[in-house]
Amino acid sequence: DAGVIQSPRHEVTEMGQEVTLRCKPISGHDYLFWYRQTMMRGLELLIYFNNNVPIDDSGMPEDRFSAKMPNASFSTLKIQPSEPRDSAVYFCASSFAGLDTQYFGPGTRLTVL
């Protein structure tokens, strides 16, 4: 299996622009997670889905952030409008119910100027 795939790997944008991050989970996994990594807060869970349904979005920082999972093989995290404080590495991870680990993608490094 190719593992969790994220695109783009790097994104540089200007404040106020819309940013869309993409994730393809491992085939057969029924949980999908979006995390943000910063120096101050480490890995923060933003939102997670089970069978394409959002279960907990309490970690989404503001209404500027939204996430969708239209099918089992694709998810997006959108920031609109983006702000410099959104600069971070965003990870997507997936898992299968009953397994004891999440599998992470390589991350998207977002820089908002």
Partner 1 sequence: DQQVKQNSPSLSVQEGRISILNCDYTNSMFDYFLWYKKYPAEGPTFLISISSIKDKNEDGRFTVFLNKSAKHLSLHIVPSQPGDSAVYFCAAGPTGTASKLTFGTGTRLQVTL
Q: Which residues would be at the binding site for partner 1 (CB under 8 A)?
A: 4, 31, 35, 39-45, 48, 50, 56, 91, 93, 95, 97-107
Torsion of CA 112, 82, 9, 35, to 10 degrees: 120
Name which of 3 and 16 has its Cβ closer to partner 1. 3
Q: Whole-number minimum distance, CB 97 to partner 1, in Å?
A: 6
What is the C-alpha separation between 63 and 57, in angstroms, rounded?
Answer: 11
Q: Whole-number minimum distance, CB 28 to partner 1, in Å?
A: 15
